[in-house]
Structure 1
Amino acid sequence: MAVKVEPVNARRIQLSQFQGQVPPPLAMLFILGEGKSRLVAGGQGEGFYVVKVDKIIPGNALNQPALIGRTQQEMQQALAEEYGAQFTNAMRQTVGVKRNEKAITASKARITSTGS
Structure 2
Amino acid sequence: MRALLNDIAPVVTSESDEIEPPYIYVTRVGGREDGVADNPLIDVEYVANTRAESKTLKTAGQERIRNAGNTAPGGFLIDVAEETTGGQYIPPTRRDARAVTTTVRLSYRRPRA
**Normalising by the residue count of structure 2, what TM-score does the alignment of the two structures yield?**
0.32
The structure whose RCO (Cα within 8 Å, separation 6+) is larger is: 2
Larger Rg computed on CA atoms: 1
**Normalising by the residue count of structure 1, what TM-score does the alignment of the two structures yield?**
0.31
Higher strand share: 2
